[in-house]
A = this chain, B = another copy of it.
Amino acid sequence: MDFNLAVIKGDGIGPEIVDEAIKVLNKIGEKYDHKFNFTYVKAGGDAIDNVGECLPKKTVEVCKNSDSVILGAVGGPKWDDLPGDQRPEKALLGIREALGLYANLRPAIIHKALSEACPIKKEIIGDSLDIMIVRELTGGIYFGQRGYRDGKYGNEAYDTESYSEMEIRRIGKIAFDTAMARDKKLCSVDKANVLESSRLWRKVITEMSKDYPEVELTHMYVDNAAMQLVRNPKQFDVIVTSNMFGDILSDEASQITGSIGMLPSASLGENSFGMYEPIHGSAPDIAGKDMANPIATILSMAMMLRYTFNLNKEADDIENAVAQVLDKGYRTVDIKSEDTKEVGTKEMGRLIVECL
């Protein structure tokens, strides 16, 4: 099969980690007789410096016309002093909106070989964890009206959180379907004791559960969820929540794994179209030094093969190759521990390709 992929290498370590991910894809292509065609486009700081805006029209067009998008990482201190609407992060929000990527899937997984890195005590975490956080990504307070207006205490800055039934239903469907393919437990997180949008969220998700009788649905307030992720993270299978709460809880959960350099993500739109990227940032301090961990990006390719192209065997292959390399004791510096062999970005990529 032929696949057309738009590639945004981005800033900092973005280019290096994407290069390794592409080698992995090409190897999968060889092995299974797929052809991956890559079109390189710019976004973030790279686009600001070279095109004068963080998300050029051409980038959006190429992405829209491709089968899937690969993103490295965007942003860095170099562009931190630009006004908010011209900063690299704006490219992220812009592309999510332009491509309609309403569902963010963020696994929080502890690989057995890396369980020592987990900041939570062994009694609580054991040696594994496997949570999938499904975050709504194009609605809520991220995309509502905002600005200044006259308020109770004079001029005030405001932002609007809002959800329609349609938006809740479509993210709910992804969440229930995800739960069905896993341990059939779904926890919907909201703040229904305060927010109107959360009350609608809870109502719609509860209604939907009738169509998924096998899924055990629970509801949890966001403050409690933030506690439970620390107290007993293993109680969770799939979590579904709003854009803002998902931003916070998915980062908390990823930190609980202790290995942020390992975590991939998928942002899905209609018809399985998706953008795939590591959850970590652009790490400008180690950029260009062959030190970055490419595994999160490589595992994002596995998610792409699985979610957008339905190539489960190929996805399994990548995940197994990563596990093998870890089992052999190879580590980039961010995940290194005693008795392991430190390798650079390129060598880590090569080792994974070799295992394929």
Interface residues, chain A, CB within 8 Å of chain B?
84, 87, 89, 93, 118-121, 124, 141-142, 144, 146-149, 151-167, 191-197, 199-201, 222-224, 226-231, 244-245, 247-252, 254-256
Contacts and interface: CB of A to CB of B under 8 A. Distances in A.
Contacts of A84: 192-193, 199
Given A194-B93, A255-B227, A162 B154 contact: no
How many chain copies does the complex carry? 2
Contact of A157 (B153, B194, B200): B200
A153 B141 contact: no
A223 B196 contact: no
Contacts of A147: 196
A238 B167 CA distance: 38
Contact of A231 (B247, B248, B255): B255
B162 A155 contact: no
A75 to B, nearest CB: 9
9 contacts: A84-B199, A149-B162, A156-B162, A156-B165, A157-B201, A160-B161, A191-B247, A229-B252, A230-B256
Given A146-B196, A158-B196, A227-B252, A153 B124 contact: no
Nearest to A122: B121
A152 B124 contact: no
Q: 4 shortest A-B CB distances, which residue pairs?
A: A157-B200, A158-B162, A153-B164, A227-B255
With a 10 A CB-CB cut-off, give which of A119, A120, A167, A197 has the most chain B CB atoms.
A119
A104 to B, nearest CB: 12
Contact of A161 (B159, B166, B193, B230): B159
Given A121-B120, A247-B222, A195 B146 contact: yes
A312 to B, nearest CB: 31
B146 A156 contact: no
Contact of A224 (B156, B201, B230, B251): B251
A160 B162 CA distance: 9
A223 B247 contact: yes
A334 B84 CA distance: 47
